[in-house]
Amino acid sequence: MDTLQRDVFGHMPDGQVIERVTLAADGIRVAIITFGAAIQSLQVPDRAGRMEEVVLGHDSLQPYLAKRSFFGATVGRYANRIAGSRFALDGQTHRLDGNEGGATLHGGYHGFDQRVWQIGECNAGPHPSVTFHLQDSAGSGGFPGTLQVALTYTLGPGPQIKLSYCATTDAPTVLNLTHHGFFALGGDVRDQMLAVRATRYLPTDTSQIPLAPEPVAGTPFDLTQAARIGGRLEQDHPQLRAQGGFDHYYPLDDGAEPAARLWDPASGRVMEVLTDQPGIQVYTANTMNGFIARNGAPLHPWDAICLEAQDYPDAPNRPDFPSPRLDPGETYSRSIKFRFAVIP
């Protein structure tokens, strides 16, 4: 196929067209839709060269609209949770959408995953790319400042996808963007091997709000060496019991890439995460009951895993965490790469 194709994926209830851009290069193929600037399809070869889907998604628009899933979506204005659905900035308290009990999750009711993005520059060629744009008005979800956001997906060089985020604001605000892909590399996720370059993690309270960092040493959260995911999920630990699995933030240690590495022994597929974000939220899809797969089959907890590179959760309320503040005249710039390989 061509390295870049563009087609109509569906229509919103008001008739607005949802487009899809498909990029293909270096043996992988990715399709992104304008609804949520989401990866709708990602096909990667296994050790036998078979191309298969490695992310959860849907083949039509209606399931995305019927139940909010975050499948492959761009998450903002603030990824993860903000406690109390409020934060103070320059002496003013901003009250947000409280869409998860007493907290704001992934930007509130109408986060970036629920928005229709606009397609900007498209580049075909050996390393095809497409840029998506979104304007988020001041007051949206309760957040201050009007944002101009751009997200560029680029394939290559080599079998990798790079996500480049850029944003500016006209008033002081907070910002935390990430990619919420649900990865299923081929075999049972519980049999896959995961390593994360982090010697600390953030335990959470009963509302899943982060507490102070704690060492991973001596806990099921120690992924400094590759570990079988199912072996960790089966351990009896209060944090795992409370969340039904992993749903925790790992502040990354300084050092060589990758930040995380996921290996599926059944298919031979390997995925590495490389990023300039300060940490990764590891989520083992603990609340999948009620969701459906691409083929219409029901999904279950632990059927996929999310590795969401992002800033610290609840940082707007935590002066002990790195600041997520963005001021006029500054440019928010982050990147995430998903690099693929095969082990024979």
**What pLDDT, in 10s, does the model give residues 116-129?**
999 999 999 999 99
Task: Check pLDDT > 80 for residue 112.
Answer: yes
Residue 266 confidence (pLDDT):
97
Question: What's the whole-number mean pLDDT along residues 6-28?
Answer: 97
What string of H, E and C letters represents the secondary structure of the chain? CCCEEEEEEEECCCCCEEEEEEEEECCEEEEEECECCEEEEEEEECCCCCEEECECCCCCCHHHHHCCCCCCEEECCECCEEECCEEEECCEEEECCCCECCEEECCCCCCHHHCECEEEEEECCCCCEEEEEEEECCCHHHCCCCEEEEEEEEECCCCEEEEEEEEEECCCEECECEEECCECCCCCHHHCEEEECCCEEECECCCCCECCCEECCCCCCCCCCCEEHHHHHCCCCHHHHHHCCCEEEEECCCCCCCCEEEECCCCCEEEEEEECCCEEEEECCCCCCCCECCCCCECCCCCCEEEEEECCCCHHHCCCCCCCEECCCCCEEEEEEEEEEECC
- Taking the CA atoms of residue 45, residue 51, residue 54 and residue 58 in that order, the dihedral angle to the nearest 10 degrees is 160
Domains of the chain by residue range: 4-342
Model confidence pLDDT, tens digit, residues 295-306: 899 999 999 999
User: How far is Cα 184 from Cα 206, in angstroms, rounded to an integer?
Assistant: 28
Task: Give me the sheet containing 247-251, strands edge to edge.
Answer: 247-251, 279-283, 306-310
Question: What's the whole-number mean pLDDT along residues 57-62?
Answer: 97
Q: Is the pTM of this model over 0.75?
A: yes
Residue 56 confidence (pLDDT):
98
Question: What's the whole-number mean pLDDT along residues 230-249?
Answer: 97
Specify whether the CB–CB gap between 18 and 65 falls below 8 A. Answer: no
Residue 309 confidence (pLDDT):
98
Please report where in the chains the tokens 């270096």 appear, as a residue: 26
Residue 217 confidence (pLDDT):
98
Question: What's the whole-number mean pLDDT along residues 145-161?
Answer: 97
In angstroms, the Cα distances linking 340 to 28, 30, 130, 175, 281 are: 9, 13, 20, 29, 20
φ/ψ (deg, to 5) at 122? -120, 130
Task: Check pLDDT > 60 for residue 167.
Answer: yes
Residue 256 confidence (pLDDT):
85
Q: How many CB atoms are closer than 10 A to CB 58? A: 23
Task: Check pLDDT > 90 for residue 221.
Answer: yes
Beta partners for 261? 195, 272
Beta partners for 86? 95
User: How far is Cα 156 from Cα 123, in angstroms, rounded to an integer?
Assistant: 13
Task: Check pLDDT > 60 for residue 82.
Answer: yes
* Closest residue by Cα to residue 255 from 312, 301, 196, 341: 196
Sign of CA dihedral 220, 221, 224, 228: positive
Residue 2 confidence (pLDDT):
84
**If you compute the radius of gyration of the chain from its CA atoms, what whole number of angstroms results?**
19
Model confidence pLDDT, tens digit, residues 249-278: 999 999 889 999 999 999 999 999 999 999
Point out the residues that are catalytic.
180, 308
Tokens of 182: 């649900």
Task: Check pLDDT > 70 for residue 1.
Answer: no
CATH number of 4-342: 2.70.98.10
Specify whether the CB–CB gap between 306 and 336 falls below 8 A. Answer: no
